[in-house]
Structure 1
């Protein structure tokens, strides 16, 4: 993990959000509508309407064009040191029920290509479980399926997500392309009302335990867990052995997830397009950071994700003013709010540290001038850098007649080109930008 995160999201790459590339989505064969559940606006809808073969071809072309070596070179030239990659559960294809879930195939191959390019550029990676089995929030493109009935918060779908965690932890340690991965995020933006997310706190604990159990099986010391049984010459057998570990945290769901992950890992490692060496030890490697949305993300007696920690853990907060509810829709209110933000301190008091801001941008609820956007960018960077750092949404947005001015406020690369964001991400144009707006210590 960098001493300070200066990052961007690779949004709309492996989890496509069609609002970010409206013309490209139409060109792929998708549709546009005001309510995303009523037309072909997501992966799920595309696959259901077009069929698997057509979906695979369209998405393979998209993956190759939306994020390429040219983009890696640009990010490196701009000093970006971290990339957060939104991923769908369907990246692990063995978890998909093809009878009812319509998602593209081949995403893992694309991810291997991308993380390897980032590794070669010296850019580190957070693997973000952005779209969960069953869908974790209603009517959101970022879940891969716009539906009014999220079904993630069930034992069966928790188990699929835990299995995903075991698979991705193993790949991150054993596949050489993934050596720049330093964190895995459990859930992007779950429902904020804990009354609608039964047993979510238990899921958080199980997620961490699956990660740490997997790492223990791969030869990495995990403080707080007992010594592992003698290692097997095959990682999948070692993970199965660990699933039998006598420890209070290894409940039935953890054990089942580890065993399921071992079977899937065997299939992935022996597939020529995704292969890696299962006899390799991860001994000497560092534990990955388990990553959760912070304690404030649920507003009804939330489980504190700090309670799940076993080894290094990081916390993620997202802050968008454009959707309302943060500050009145005018420049002074925005600046007063951001310049007095105390989320880093408040989270630290609850054990949610280090905290980084994994999504933010420049969009506003009013017509912002260029001068305001430059100051708005500076003020946000100063606020978020009080924690572990920041990750802008998004690295780029389509530039087209149909997209209009989207890229002006949503694209990091365009923000630099327009002079709103400094070319050196560690710098700001005006370090005193908040001085007129400070209202408290």
Structure 2
């Protein structure tokens, strides 16, 4: 089997282009605008671009944002949401538990889902030159797989359907990824819960995750609102080997790659086959690439289902070995070479800086003296994540509340003048010269 898989991996660059944006499926907005067609954009005056988008072959690069804290609220970036509910917790599980009232929790979260994002947000994304949106979702949106001991808000499915419809109307390519897995794949609140020991890595929770994947795959191919969803992520940021918080990470990631990944691939492809979906219309299946540190995602994949693979990497320079200075950050990013698997999308990155200096005046993004640095650093990251094995990026995140830091908020960053409103300018402002 390994020799067969190896030969398939050699052919992957050809297979990987089948259902990425701008290929076999056009992505056209409700107003007839194809955000992956340069001349169409120019004619409609959505941007003031003066040069072609970077491409891989004929493939336009992915330029997008995450809908962080929309379907999985993270208190660090959206503190006003939980405080509005009366929660003094860091995760959704703990918030719902502390409310001790499922009806109130459902009402509170549904109010959040109604107000956090609107159709206008997706239109604005397109107007800023973005063409992709990554939507993090928790397993509890498929309520039939939630155990009675697990406390999460209910009623989210229709809001997911609505958001995907809005993205389609705006002409945006959509990545949906399992951000919060059953049992939690890490100890962080982004999983929707803060388990002292990640509980995802066993057969029971793999099976529940696969039920979720089967459910979302069926939606992609059966619900017209999902027609611009081209990628499904199997699990976000699982434990990493070498992270001191996870002494069992080696065995956990071995289990995930040997048991969960092959089963997930088979579940998705079997659902597509049952719906008679042609191969060139099937979704890309995305895993964290080996650069993430959870092992080689391809190692145990079954050859009969292994096509249209994609990979994810998250690059937060604030946690890197970069010299903590403006020039140090620019030098580090300009030399960045995202590698490990192809095709990679840098699914998360930001303009946040080392925690020791982030509140210092010479790093203050609202200080006019620092704006030139941040614009150049944004440009440098755009260029870094649009070259080599990386086919593009999705910034974390589109919006925040309570954080008041434009380095994490695309809209606030544009308004503050530290994120380019014309992304193509990244190649002309001399960030890496």
* Number of the residue aligned with 1:88: 138
The answer on whether the counterparts of 2:185 and 2:200 sit within 8 Å (CA) in structure 1 is yes
Separation in 1, partners of 2:222, 2:212: 15
| C-alpha displacement of 1:97 | 0.3
Give yes or no for the alignment of 1:150 onto 2:198: yes
The residue matched to 1:116 in structure 2 has which SS?
Answer: helix
* Number of the residue aligned with 1:376: 377
Q: 1:306 to 1:114 in 2, by over 3 A?
A: farther
The answer on whether the counterparts of 1:375 and 1:430 sit within 8 Å (CA) in structure 2 is no
* Number of the residue aligned with 1:201: 257
Give yes or no for the alignment of 1:42 onto 2:99: no
Deviations 1:334-387 (A, max 9, x none): 22211111223xx2xxxx211110000000113422221111101100100112
Which of the numbers 113, 122, 131 marks the counterpart of 1:63?
113
Unaligned runs of 5+ in 1: 32-39, 223-284, 436-441
Which of the numbers 284, 288, 291 marks the counterpart of 2:283?
288
| C-alpha displacement of 1:303 | 3.1
Separation in 1, partners of 2:424, 2:431: 15
* Number of the residue aligned with 1:392: 395
**TM-score w.r.t. length of structure 2:** 0.77
The answer on whether the counterparts of 1:6 and 1:426 sit within 8 Å (CA) in structure 2 is no
Separation in 2, partners of 1:426, 1:94: 45
Alignment of 1:298-313 (within 5 A): 298=293, 302-305=295-298, 308=301, 310-313=306-309
The answer on whether the counterparts of 2:338 and 2:385 sit within 8 Å (CA) in structure 1 is no
The answer on whether the counterparts of 1:6 and 1:80 sit within 8 Å (CA) in structure 2 is yes
* Number of the residue aligned with 1:161: 209
Deviations 1:152-180 (A, max 9, x none): 00111011111111111011100111111
Give yes or no for the alignment of 1:329 onto 2:324: yes
Q: 1:305 to 1:431 in 2, by over 3 A?
A: farther
Give yes or no for the alignment of 1:316 onto 2:291: no
The residue matched to 1:84 in structure 2 has which SS?
Answer: strand
| C-alpha displacement of 1:424 | 2.5
Deviations 1:26-82 (A, max 9, x none): 112111xxxxxxxx2211012112121111000000001111122122212212110
Give yes or no for the alignment of 1:7 onto 2:64: yes
* Number of the residue aligned with 1:357: 346
The answer on whether the counterparts of 1:384 and 1:390 sit within 8 Å (CA) in structure 2 is yes
Question: How many residues matched?
Answer: 349
Deviations 1:370-418 (A, max 9, x none): 22111110110010011211100000112x5xx3x42x20011111112
| C-alpha displacement of 1:132 | 0.3
Unaligned runs of 5+ in 2: 1-19, 22-59, 242-248, 364-369
Cα RMSD, aligned residues only: 1.7
Separation in 2, partners of 1:149, 1:304: 22
**TM-score w.r.t. length of structure 1:** 0.76
The answer on whether the counterparts of 1:8 and 1:83 sit within 8 Å (CA) in structure 2 is yes
Separation in 2, partners of 1:174, 1:127: 15
| C-alpha displacement of 1:426 | 3.5
* Number of the residue aligned with 1:249: none
The residue matched to 1:129 in structure 2 has which SS?
Answer: strand
